[in-house]
Amino acid sequence: MSIAQIMTSTRIHLDVDAPSKKRALERMSEYLSDGDSELNSGQVFDALLMRERLGSTGLGFGFAIPHARHAQAEDVRGACMRLSQPIDFDAMDQQPVDFVVGLLVPDGSADEHVHMLAELAGLLNEPQVRERLRDAETPAQVLDVFASVPGI
């Protein structure tokens, strides 16, 4: 499964106002639960927050990958948002974050969870990919970036 396959343009949001890490996680929870009546955004937020307490998901280069497993998730799903203003996310490189990619996986999908995180981290390690994601003007263009990267 690829990153592009777990996202939809309705779960990609550009120039989002989220002035804090907590607010960014709240917004991501809303986006990840969008379109699934079984998912409660409050419970998704709790799962993301619990994972974040184990250590920051701020990858570096201005990107974060908050992620969690959730009993009510029926499938692997992704969402992303480009923030209108960078925020402190306790990233490994101590740089503020302006692009957040979230993952939510079913409880029993540990292998897929690890695989998706590794693929996403590898993808975001590429300077050209980061630049293209930041330059995207529409959710469809963001989805195209994810779909156009070989091996993802």
Residue located via tokens 């209108």: 84
* From 13, 67, 70, 113, the catalytic residue: 67
- What single-letter amino acid sits at 52? E
How far apart (Å, rounded) are the C-alpha atoms in residues 125 and 121? 6
67 included as an active-site residue? yes
- Catalytic residue IDs: 67
